[in-house]
Structure 1
Amino acid sequence: MPDLLPIPRQTPSAVTPVRPAASDPLREAAIELEASFLAQMLKSAGLGESREGFGGGAGEEQFTSFLIREQATQIARSGGIGLAESLYHALKETQGE
């Protein structure tokens, strides 16, 4: 049996979620826009659709949109797909910074 190599551990900085500075509304707006985009993608992918054999009902239908939005926001705040960063730089350029 060959020797197994150890699995390298990630440093805490490699897994730290991206948090916008409280004084940077432009970055916050970019993250919110990415979250909106991701929410639509998750909805189109079928996340939150009622299952026939389990769950369902009026309560689930009413709160599904909140669940999808919160999941999309958490994805965007933890680095997302890079859309927020691109939007932030593009918006920053238009403001002449």
Structure 2
Amino acid sequence: MTSVSPIAQPPDAHQQQLRQVAQKLETAFLSEMLKAAGVGKPSEAFGGGAGEEHFASFLRDAQAERMVAAGGIGLAETFFNALKDKENAQ
């Protein structure tokens, strides 16, 4: 029985995949920081009930995605370089 080797991706496609993973990590980090800063926190006077917090998380995620798309805070590049270095070391 012969073993099937995975199809090798072109280097550019693999680099793009690593960059997308790095950007998702930065997005998740920024979303949590926005939550800690109180973005999307229900107001005390006229709260929208239990569902408001769930929809507030969508708002924070969308804001974090836009921040990363606009250049972010540099974490994606750091994550990307770390992922590349880890692969090169293996």
Q: Same fold (TM over 0.5)?
A: yes
Shift of 1:57: 2.8
Q: Which has the higher helix share?
A: 2
CA deviations over 1:3-57 (Å, ceiling 9, x no partner)? xxxxxxxxxxxxxxxxxxx931100000000000001100000001111234533
CA deviations over 1:63-85 (Å, ceiling 9, x no partner)? 11111111111111211000000
Q: Does 1:79 align with 2:71?
A: yes
Alignment equivalent of 1:89, drawn from 69, 81, 88: 81
Q: Which ranges of structure 2 fall in alignment gaps of 5 or more residues?
A: 1-11
The percent of aligned pairs where both chains have the same amino acid is 50
- Map of 1:57 onto structure 2: 49
**Runs of 4+ residues deviating >3 angstroms:** none
Whole-angstrom distance in 1 between the partners of 2:27 and 2:79: 12
Alignment equivalent of 2:35, drawn from 40, 43, 50: 43
Q: Which ranges of structure 1 fall in alignment gaps of 5 or more residues?
A: 1-21
Task: Provide the alpha-carbon RMSD of the alignment.
Answer: 2.0
Q: For this pair of structures, how many residues does the alignment match?
A: 76
- In the superposition, the TM-score normalised over structure 1's length comes to 0.69
- In the superposition, the TM-score normalised over structure 2's length comes to 0.73
